[in-house]
Amino acid sequence: MLTIFVVSDATGRTAERLVRAALEQFGGAAVRVARRMEVRSVEQVRVVVREAAAAEALIVHTLVEHDLRRQMLEETRQQGVDALDSMGPLLERLTGRLQLSPREKPGLLRQLEDAKLREIEAVAFAFHHDDGLNAHELDRAEVVLVGVSRSMKTPTMLYLAYRGWFAANVPLIPDIPPPEPLLEVSPLRVFCLTMAAEKLCQLRHTRAVSTGIPVESYASAEQVRKELDYAARLCTTHGWCQIDVTGKSVEEAAREIILLLSQEK
């Protein structure tokens, strides 16, 4: 049985997928694939090569540091180990075409994959916690947006989610107390979106006309001011930060929130 050592200065997942994809062309061949991860020193290279020599294994490596690739070449030649550098030739070709030097920093692809996975999880979390849904899980949120209807809570929440923040939003409705789990969230993570009454009236009137909601009970100046006052009182009581989104884009509102969160951290 052939043994293939997949050697990487990171997790080796990408290189292993490449090897296994190639092995599919030899369906049923007796091959054992073993990963050797986090190889980032000369001594680690020597240990892996000696192990491969004892097992008469093939080495496929994706070392990004030039010195480690050179050491791997020297060691495998001395030990008589068959080795394939699947990273070096590509880096050299890209260096020539781009006229740039590679950063030679291990794990960049893993960081990118982790960030993408977090984004997917954050978006799923946002949809699962939109408009007060699953309020019992608000302790898992990194940021909770509150506010009256049509105050840009959902689009701002989604903007944050697509940038990896676990965000939720909860509507504030007069005569209906906020859910208890919201009051248990640190006030530093709760932001109340508010806007000028006139602007909110316009937004609500448009929605009322398009959906058949009674204008007087939803979009009147009196109703809007009543709800905004209620939200402002809750902010004062619970220490929530108010973000005025009047005339702001979703991106501007979200960036302001991210800045405040970063300052707290």
Reported as a pLDDT band with limits 50, 70 and 90, residue 167 is: very high
Among 26-30, 219-223, 245-249, whose mean pLDDT is lowest?
26-30
Q: Are residues 135 and 200 in the same domain?
A: yes
Q: Are residues 124 and 95 in the same domain?
A: no
Domain end (from 78, 106, 134): 106
For residue 141, pLDDT over 70 is answered with yes
Domain count, the chain: 2
Mean per-residue pLDDT, 38-61: 94
Q: Are residues 102 and 119 in the same domain?
A: no
CATH number of the domain residue 131 falls in: 3.40.50
pLDDT of residue 103: 61
Rounded (10°) CA dihedral 216, 219, 225, 226: 60
Mean per-residue pLDDT, 19-34: 89
Q: Are residues 202 and 249 in the same domain?
A: yes
pLDDT of residue 17: 87
Reported as a pLDDT band with limits 50, 70 and 90, residue 113 is: low
Reported as a pLDDT band with limits 50, 70 and 90, residue 18 is: confident
Q: Are residues 90 and 137 in the same domain?
A: no
- How far is residue 184's CA from residue 125's CA, in Å, rounded to a whole number? 19
Q: Report the half-sphere exposure of 144 (CA within 13 A, side-chain side).
A: 30
Domain end (from 85, 106, 127): 106
pLDDT in tens, 182-194: 999 999 999 999 9
Reported as a pLDDT band with limits 50, 70 and 90, residue 265 is: low
Indicate the pTM of the whole model.
0.62
Q: Are residues 143 and 254 in the same domain?
A: yes
**Which residues have CB under 8 Å from 101's CB, separation 6+?**
95
**Which residues have CB under 8 Å from 46's CB, separation 6+?**
71, 75
CATH number of the domain residue 60 falls in: 3.40.50.2300
Q: Are residues 46 and 135 in the same domain?
A: no
pLDDT in tens, 232-243: 999 999 999 999
Q: Are residues 14 and 101 in the same domain?
A: yes
Q: Are residues 26 and 154 in the same domain?
A: no
Domain end (from 106, 126, 150): 106
Closest CA to 225 of 248, 200, 191, 192: 200
CA distances from 164 to 145, 192, 259 (A): 15, 20, 14
Q: Are residues 127 and 67 in the same domain?
A: no
Q: Are residues 137 and 26 in the same domain?
A: no
Which residues span the domain enclosing 237? 114-264
Q: Are residues 78 and 100 in the same domain?
A: yes
